[in-house]
Amino acid sequence: MLYPTAHDWRTASRRKVLVFGMSGLGKTHLSGLLRVTGDWFHYSIDYRIGTRYLGEAIVDNAKAEAMKVPFLRDLLMTDSIYIASNITFENLSPVATWLGKPGSREKGGLPMAEYATRQEAFRLAEIAALNDTPHFARRAKTLYGYDHFICDTGGSICEWVDPENPDDPLLRTLSEECLLVWIKGDEAHTQELIRRFDRAPKPMAYQPAFLARVWKDYLLENNVSEDDVDPDAFVRWTYAQALSHRQPRYAAMAKWGVTITPDQIGPLTSEADFVELIATCLETGR
């Protein structure tokens, strides 16, 4: 690990961490807590995806919808208006909207072929954004003068790595640059995430083999064709399975770093609190 001992961590002139885990457990909250100190550079993977790697596709998708409206089409064709994506660290809706959900077009869904194409584009974009981590860590220091760095990852990071392989190229790149920190939720956290998702189902990125399996199972179990699938019903049905699928992958990734919990994040009020929390994890070998 980048910081083998608590002493190494506490005395480091530069602290660099990467947080990962299920969406909704506190990664962005923790990143924001550190960012407002003025000493930490916050590198958001989803923000990088939406502004650098999928920015044009996201805007083009919005333009395609606008072009269906004659009034807006005329304005776009004469360059009288323009469409842009207003992505922020706290609002990544343009990325999710572009990713979409599979199912009936009448219910706002995408054909599975198009959905799978977007899933693959997102996979490549997320891997590229993760591989940009060393660049942004250097840039944070040399360009902006930040001493410390936090990489805020998306929930799907575990889908693109093989944590059991000590030579996994992406994990090696990330672990050589940052201390990997898993935010581990328990069963109660998982059930709350499922309830929250059920109230407002959101698009997700899936490992291709997993997506192919659950799509086939959903069609058979519900005796429906692709054109009849309710997009929200499908992603609700899939969500708990996705969490179960990801949990052992996160756990394997945790061997590359340390583990904290949402309950430990909640009481944090300062950078010093966070530094001490990670030091304790290093001391106890967690």
Tens-digit pLDDT profile for residues 182-228? 999 999 999 999 999 999 888 899 999 999 999 999 999 999 999 99
Question: Over the stretch 3-37, which tens digit does the pLDDT of each residue have?
Answer: 999 999 999 999 999 999 998 899 989 999 999 99
Question: Looking at residue 90, what is its pLDDT?
Answer: 67
Task: Report whether 157 contacts 126 (CB < 8 A).
Answer: yes
- In DSSP terms, 180 is beta-bridged to 18
Residue 158's pLDDT band (cuts 50, 70, 90) = very high
* 81 to 77, 78, 125, 232, 277: CA distances (angstroms): 9, 8, 28, 32, 50
Three-state DSSP class for residue 15: coil
| Nearest 10 degrees: Cα torsion 183, 188, 191, 192 | -70
- Asked whether 45 and 92 are in contact (CB, 8 A), the reply is no
The fourth-level CATH superfamily of domain 6-279 is P-loop containing nucleotide triphosphate hydrolases (3.40.50.300)
Distances (CA, A) of 14 to 17, 150, 221: 10, 11, 53
The pair of three-digit structure tokens given for residue 202, joined into one six-digit string: 């959101």
Binned at pLDDT 50, 70 and 90, residue 117 comes out as very high
Specify the amino acid at residue 106: E
**SS3 state at 260:** strand
Q: pLDDT digits over 52-95, tens only? A: 999 899 888 889 889 999 999 999 899 998 888 777 766 778 88
Residue 41 has pLDDT above 70, yes or no: yes
pTM: 0.92
Average pLDDT of the chain to the nearest whole number: 94
